[in-house]
Structure 1
Amino acid sequence: MDVRPIQTPENVPHLFDFIKPKDYSVLQNTLKLLDDVRTFTAQNLQQANRIAFTNTRWRVGTMSGGGNQVFKGSMSSKLSSDITSETISKLENDQKKNELSKLEFELSKLEMGASACANRILYTEKE
């Protein structure tokens, strides 16, 4: 996973900049769970909208909220000792299964498109 520094719109921080693990050996897996390391954190909703809807589409969230529901206490800064290597393996396996499912769906769409093209060729040759 590429986490090299990049120039961000309006110099906003990445979401992963706020993650300060006590054990840096789990950082790579934590970033994998975030799925998208190019998510930014804006100061407010106006800044988030400016950044999100430019020529380059970015994922942006705010630290101040902006939605119609307030969620508190979902993230903890305490080190959880019950995360085992089996748990991480299961999460990675689930992620791979999800990716496989998406790829199989894409393959199915491509096969249907190829079949439609072959039918068009046969139809044109008969004319």
Structure 2
Amino acid sequence: MQQPTAFWLDTFPITSALDTPSLIQDLAAYAELRQLTDPYQDSVAQVTEEPAASTIALFLRIHAAADFYSTNQSLMLDPQPVLVDIILDPYLLNIFPRSLAPTAIYIGTLAIGSYFLSGALWRWLINEPVGSTKKPHAD
């Protein structure tokens, strides 16, 4: 389901987060929510995470709001919650997401293979032997 939304992202280092009362309240609410979730789900998520070579801790606050107007008064007074997915993917050389590396290798291999295959097909279509140096016209 498509949701029209507006997003605002804020990042905070740990020192800033601990100095701001509103962020401490948000962290306490998050910790309380985590205690209410299924512990099995948390253990599965911890097993699949890869350890980072160098870890820098930042807190990310996402403000997501429904970005629409409607004539439905009940929808305007109580909009549906906006769903947000966060995908954290390390970069290779700070340029390319690591999860896209296999796709890039696959596409590169297809491009190089297609280049050589098209040359072989072209020579076959014009019936020219592979090692031939025959000129297309006489001088």
Does TM-score exceed 0.5, indicating one fold? no
Larger of the two Rg values belongs to structure: 2
Q: Specify which structure has the higher proportion of helix.
A: 1
Higher relative contact order (CA 8 A, sep 6+): 2
